C-alpha cells in the first residue's frame, strides 16, 4: 500500500505499519510501500503500539505528507579488553 492511500483512508490519525519497500538517501529512509497493520486516533494508544514495534514496524502520523524516517547512527564507546 502506498502512503498516499493510507493518508486518504485514515486522515489525521496514527497508523502502525511494516515497511515492505524503501530506499535510503543520505541519512533518510524513504518508504515506498507498506503493509498496513492498525489505525489509532488516540496518541496514547499510538505510543503504546510504538513501544511494541519490532524490526521494520513503525507508528507514524498521517498528517505528514511524506513517509520519511530519519536514520540515527549509534556510535558506541569501545573499551579496551
**Cell numbers representing residue 81 in the block:** 579488553
Establish if 79 belongs to a structural domain: no
Burial track 35-72 (b if 16+ CB lie within 10 A, e otherwise): eeeebbeeeeebeebeeeeeeebbbbebeeeebebeee
In a domain, 41, yes or no: yes
User: Is residue 74 over pLDDT 80?
Assistant: no
Instruction: Please state whether the predicted TM-score (pTM) of the whole model is above 0.85.
Output: no
Residue 56 placed within a domain: yes
Structural domain harbouring 60: 3-70
- Count the domains in the chain: 1
Read off the pLDDT of residues 6-57 as tens digits, 9 standing for 90 and up. 999 999 999 999 999 999 999 999 999 999 999 999 999 999 999 999 999 9
User: Which set of grid coordinates corresponds to residue 70?
Assistant: 530519519
Amino acid at each position: 500500500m502506498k502512503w498516499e492511500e493510507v493518508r486518504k483512508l485514515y486522515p489525521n490519525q496514527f497508523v502502525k505499519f511494516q515497511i515492505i519497500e524503501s530506499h535510503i538517501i543520505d541519512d533518510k529512509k524513504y518508504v515506498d510501500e507498506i503493509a498496513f497493520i492498525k489505525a489509532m486516533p488516540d496518541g496514547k494508544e499510538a505510543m503504546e503500539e510504538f513501544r511494541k514495534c519490532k524490526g521494520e514496524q513503525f507508528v507514524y502520523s498521517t498528517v505528514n505528507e511524506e513517509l520519511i524516517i530519519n536514520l540515527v547512527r549509534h556510535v558506541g564507546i569501545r573499551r579496551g579488553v
